[in-house]
Structure formats: C-alpha cells, structure tokens
Structure 1
C-alpha cells in the first residue's frame, strides 16, 4: 500500500483533540457523571489525551476506562487466524450505571466496532447516555451510527485505508490515507 496523503499531522491531531475536549464539556455542561471509555487499542490513548485536555480546561479529573470488544464483534471468525481470539480485557475503574459514557475510538468506518462496544458496555451497566468521540470519520456506514464528536471527516473510497499512528503505540502522531 502507498501512502496517498497525510490528513492530520501531530499539530492537527492536538488541535482536533482540544476541540473535542471543549465540545464534550460544552455538550455535557461540565463533566459531572461523565466517563471516557477508550476502545482498545488506539481509542484508549486518545481517551487519555482527551482526559488530560479536559483536566487542563476544567481543573477536574475525568475517569478513563478501557474497553476490549473482541468477544462482541460480529466478524470474530474472520479476524482470527488460529480460531482463538486474543482477548486483552477491559478495565473500567468506575460503575457506568447512570453515567454519561463517551466512547472514544480512532476511526469510525462501518459502525460495527461501535455497535460491539455498546453491547459490551450494556453488559457492564446501564449508562444514562452513550456518546461517541472519534478522531476520524471516514464514512461508509453499514449501521445507523453517528459520532457526536469528530476530529476530522475524511471522505474515502472503499479502496482506501485510513491509518492512525500514535506516539504511545507507533512512535509518532499522524493520520494518513493509503491506497490499497
């Protein structure tokens, strides 16, 4: 695959996350009863960065959790080579019942990951609200799911792939489009 374009560089990612943090605070009239839950893997790092921004803006800590949706995927059999899924485990530090949960992920594509994440959340408790924050929305939804907070909308063709690299995992911050 060839890199076609860089859609967000390090500064653009920082600005997008700062804007999303402000939008989360504004929509929820503060952060009371809010919790950020990152979808493994890159969603966790984005959620942690959002929590830092929210703390800088509000001067208050917001709880952050990690959600592993492996066993909730509807494409589980096509995602594993040896038949056994690699379950990394969830870590939600607070009860989510009656909380406003902001699910955080890197890319919104078909909506299937988000549906699996909502199924996993409902097994853990009954949030008063579930909101969705994504760094990139690339379109091509297969389910009626829409993000509440979007860093950047990047219309793509199905022959293109969006790759998000983050310092915590990949050593650098960048969002690129690749041609398949």
Structure 2
C-alpha cells in the first residue's frame, strides 16, 4: 500500500478557515445557519468549522450530527455495513427555514450526500441546503456538486482519500492511498 500526505495539520486548518470564510460570505448572516456533520469525520469537521466561524464572527453556530446509514441505497455493497445498526435520526435543532450546511470529508459518488438530504428532508423543510466537502475526488454517480470545497483531488478508482481527524485517528491530515 503506497500513501502520500495531501494535507498536513496546518494545511487542513487553513483550508477549514477558508471554507468558514466562504460560508460566511455566501450567507451574509449567521442567524439561521446550522452545520450538519455526516458521521463520522464530517461531524468533527463541522465542529471545527463552527469553531472557525466563532473565531471570525464571535457567534456560535449549532452543529448537528447525522448518521445516514439507514438512508444509503447501496447497503448491500458496503463491506463495512454488512450488519448496519439503524438508529433513528435525531436533531436537537429544528432545521425548518434554516440554511443547512451539510459537512462531510470526501465527496465521491454523491450517494452519501443524497442520503443526508433524504434524512433531513424527511423531517424538515430548510430554506436552503448547501454542501461543504473537505475533498472532492470526482467519480460522481449522481448530479451533486459541493458549494464549498477544500481541495479537488483527481483520483483513479483504485486510489482512496483518507481524511484523518485527531478525535478518531489521533492526527489531523489527508492521505492519498494507492492500493
């Protein structure tokens, strides 16, 4: 397995700060802004973005967690979800009439994002849904495009992009892994 570092901790921090600025510029206000992180690493990225927004604006943005396992249309194809634990989607913030920014680590086929939108729209009617992705690696199967992208990384189907966050992996970095 061959791997190389695409982003170290400093680059990751700068990228999140830039995305935070872009979210603020696009939305002009934080009044109805809610970040929804897709489990697992998207949650930590959403929290980091909320922290960057608080540093910039002095305002705390609500962060919600979303487990989209139940909403995936490809459960039978996912090796790591052979016996998925399906839980009820619970939000502590009403997302109706809010600007919801879905946050995830890697945009690939688009199926995770579609599942996240399904989960949100099953319960709420946000005024807008936007998408923030740390890495866009291409290979879309659905017509989904991120509003905010940290870095575009063209990849082959045999490569993987691994986002590592300190809370889960003990380090903050992005790796390109060739198998």
Normalising TM by the smaller chain, what interval? over 0.9
Alpha carbons of structure 1 residues 58 and 109: separation in structure 2 relative to 1, 3 Å: same
Structure-1 residue corresponding to 2:123: 124
SS in 1 for 2:154: coil
Alpha carbons of structure 1 residues 81 and 164: separation in structure 2 relative to 1, 3 Å: closer
SS in 1 for 2:52: helix
TM norm structure 2: 0.95
Structure-2 residue corresponding to 1:75: 74
Shift of 1:91: 4.2
Alpha carbons of structure 1 residues 81 and 165: separation in structure 2 relative to 1, 3 Å: closer
Assess if the C-alpha contact under 8 Å between 1:34 and 1:100 holds in 2.
yes
Structure-2 residue corresponding to 1:177: 176
Shift of 1:76: 1.1
SS in 2 for 1:131: strand
Shift of 1:90: 3.9
Q: Deviations over 1:63-83 (max 9, x none)?
A: 000001001001112225785
Assess if the C-alpha contact under 8 Å between 1:110 and 1:141 holds in 2.
yes
Provide the rounded CA distance (Å) in 2 between the counterparts of 1:26 and 1:38: 20
Q: Deviations over 1:42-83 (max 9, x none)?
A: 000000000001011111110000001001001112225785
Q: What count of residue pairs does the alignment treat as equivalent?
A: 179
Deviates more, 1:100-109 or 1:25-34: 25-34
Structural RMSD (CA): 1.4
Structure-2 residue corresponding to 1:37: 36
Assess if the C-alpha contact under 8 Å between 1:67 and 1:89 holds in 2.
no
Assess if the C-alpha contact under 8 Å between 1:68 and 1:90 holds in 2.
yes
SS in 1 for 2:106: strand
Give the gaps of 5 or more residues in structure 2. Answer: none
SS in 2 for 1:13: helix
Q: Deviations over 1:132-159 (max 9, x none)?
A: 0011000111110000001111111111
Provide the rounded CA distance (Å) in 2 between the counterparts of 1:156 and 1:85: 28
Assess if the C-alpha contact under 8 Å between 1:6 and 1:177 holds in 2.
yes
Give the gaps of 5 or more residues in structure 1. Answer: none
Assess if the C-alpha contact under 8 Å between 1:99 and 1:129 holds in 2.
yes
